[in-house]
Amino acid sequence: MHNNTILELAHGLRGGEFTSVELTRAYLDRIASHNPALNCLISVCEEGALQEAELADRRIRAGDDGPLLGIPIVHKDIFCTDWVKTSCGSRMLDNFTAPYDAHVVSQLKQAGAVMLGKANMDEFAMGSSNENSFYGPVHNPWKAGSVPGGSSGGSAAAVAARLCAAATGTDTGGSIRQPAAFCGITGLKPTYGRVSRYGMIAFASSLDQGGPMARSAEDAAALLQAMAGFDSRDSTSAEQPVPDYLSALNDDLKGLRIGVPKEYLGEGLDAAIAESIQLALDEYVRLGAELVEISLPNTHLGIPTYYVVAPAECSSNLSRFDGVRYGYRCSDPKDLEDLYKRSREEGFGAEVKRRIMIGTYALSAGYYDAYYLKAQKIRHLISDDFRAAFEQVDVIMGPTAPSTAFAIGEKADDPVNMYLSDIYTIAVNLDGLPGMSIPVRPVNDMPVGLQLIGNYFQEARLLNVAHQLQQVTNWHGAAPAGFE
């Protein structure tokens, strides 16, 4: 059962081939077998999952329908859940259980999805390798000792290893797409505002966006259908109609104009990855699409811009974790100042503290204009690049990451080199555009991701374009050895 897609599982549940309880038990058994080595789940909700599965079975017997009803999934541990710990991969929240569900969690629960557990992640979503977790690094199921990408690495590894049918993730600078590429799955970052951030613990509020992580574009469409939509509790939620993502999957691609940025296929990209990307582009030409060379001239400014804007916002958002109201508190503080200092010193990891310090500096008097304000101006230039590109093309394509998954510890002492892992993904967040990664031909038996970027609220088009490639290739169907 674990090798079936969401729609195949839904068909089996409706046809009485198996029950949601049986399906959930099968996934729980796989988690018990494989999670100790992968470390991709922080919390496993065996009792609650079986209760939700029993409820789903009753709904199915009563004639209820829906592609997610009875389907076991995993939530990234950044989404608040009202009966399970929400840690954000941090010691700071190791003892925190939210009193409510995040909007994404409640939407998927209403759709009948069964929550198996909470996925490991880089602390407060800060990282590109899932090594920055209080609970230890996640291992890539494709190669022991390799990173799964970050920050949604736990979600990506769980989907790739068939420990769940699908998972949720969040993307601030590539944190759905890059781990999807490293783990050989499909990951979609929607347009900013398409999915509510209510109950999603904030890292950088103008960049964060939740999205689906699944084995195929079809599965991602089913997940996004439940996740998307306006939420009055989130002031940045977009009041835009939600299309039927599944019905648009089979539109043909004749006349589709694919923009290929010259900046994405140059220096810094592994030559073998470039070949895999070109192979996928050739498939699109055979499907009736046209390739158009475009330029995104400010691409090289994306990383320095992001690493001013994102730390500045995280400095503000994480100021609430002070050891007073909830979360980690140091023992035996001498006074209030000592409580603040030691709670934050002991509760936060090294990468989080690094970004808080950078952000606080960038926002400080005398430096705001030189750093933060200038970064926001460059952000507008990056947006102008995309706006000009979409006057010429319908979708933009290129690599998701410049390399395949690297070894755990390989870049741990070189933050700048680590940050370069997101060089192709960051600009999408700075402009709030939708983007996704889908698997293409592997390199040295390791997954490679093709990134698709669309115009605002064009998720249906991206899913359609991805699905059409997955109908004529099977790169997305491969499973890591030992997890088939």
Task: Mark whether 120 and 237 lie in a shared domain.
Answer: yes
User: What pLDDT, on a 0 to 100 scale, did the predictor assign at position 267?
Assistant: 85
**Is 67 among the domain residues?**
yes
Report CA-CA distances (Å) from 315 to 142, 312, 362. Answer: 35, 5, 10
Task: Mark whether 68 and 198 lie in a shared domain.
Answer: yes
Task: Mark whether 135 and 252 lie in a shared domain.
Answer: yes
Instruction: Kindly list the catalytic residues.
Output: 76, 151, 175
Task: Mark whether 211 and 358 lie in a shared domain.
Answer: no
Task: Mark whether 47 and 149 lie in a shared domain.
Answer: yes
Task: Mark whether 206 and 62 lie in a shared domain.
Answer: yes
**Is 454 among the domain residues?**
no
User: What pLDDT, on a 0 to 100 scale, did the predictor assign at position 415?
Assistant: 87
- Model pTM score: 0.96
Phi and psi at 328, nearest 5°, equal: -65, 140
Of 256, 272, 293, which closes a domain? 256
**Is 278 among the domain residues?**
no
CATH code, domain carrying 192: 3.90.1300.10
First to last CA, the chain: 11
**Is 290 among the domain residues?**
no
Count of Cβ atoms closer than 10 Å to residue 91 Cβ: 18
Bridge partners, residue 81, by sequence: 84
User: What pLDDT, on a 0 to 100 scale, did the predictor assign at position 81?
Assistant: 98
Task: Kindly give the confidence (pLDDT) of every residue in the chain, 484 residues in length, as a single tens digit, with 9 standing for 90 and above.
Answer: 899 999 999 999 999 999 999 999 999 999 999 999 999 999 999 999 999 999 999 999 999 999 999 999 999 999 999 989 999 999 999 999 999 999 999 999 999 999 999 999 999 999 999 999 999 999 999 999 999 999 999 999 999 999 999 999 999 999 999 999 999 999 999 999 999 999 999 999 999 999 999 999 999 999 999 999 999 999 999 999 999 999 999 999 999 999 999 999 988 899 999 999 999 999 999 999 999 999 999 999 999 999 999 999 999 999 999 999 889 999 999 999 999 999 999 999 999 999 999 999 999 988 999 999 999 999 999 999 999 999 999 999 999 999 999 999 999 888 888 988 899 999 999 999 999 999 999 999 999 999 999 999 999 999 999 999 999 999 999 999 999 8
Task: Mark whether 238 and 305 lie in a shared domain.
Answer: no
User: What pLDDT, on a 0 to 100 scale, did the predictor assign at position 181?
Assistant: 98
**Is 373 among the domain residues?**
yes
Of 195, 227, 256, which closes a domain? 256
- 141/240 Cα distance (integer angstroms): 38
Task: Mark whether 327 and 245 lie in a shared domain.
Answer: no
Using alpha carbons only, give the angle 417, 421, 422 rounded to the nearest 5 degrees. 125
Task: Tell me how many domains the chain contains.
Answer: 2
**Is 305 among the domain residues?**
yes
Task: Mark whether 229 and 360 lie in a shared domain.
Answer: no
User: What pLDDT, on a 0 to 100 scale, did the predictor assign at position 413?
Assistant: 87
Task: Mark whether 18 and 103 lie in a shared domain.
Answer: yes
Residue range of the domain that includes 363: 301-377
Of 377, 400, 431, which closes a domain? 377
User: What pLDDT, on a 0 to 100 scale, did the predictor assign at position 420?
Assistant: 87
Using alpha carbons only, give the angle 458, 203, 421 rounded to the nearest 5 degrees. 70
User: What pLDDT, on a 0 to 100 scale, did the predictor assign at position 240?
Assistant: 95
User: What pLDDT, on a 0 to 100 scale, did the predictor assign at position 266?
Assistant: 84
**Is 270 among the domain residues?**
no
Amino acid present at 405: A
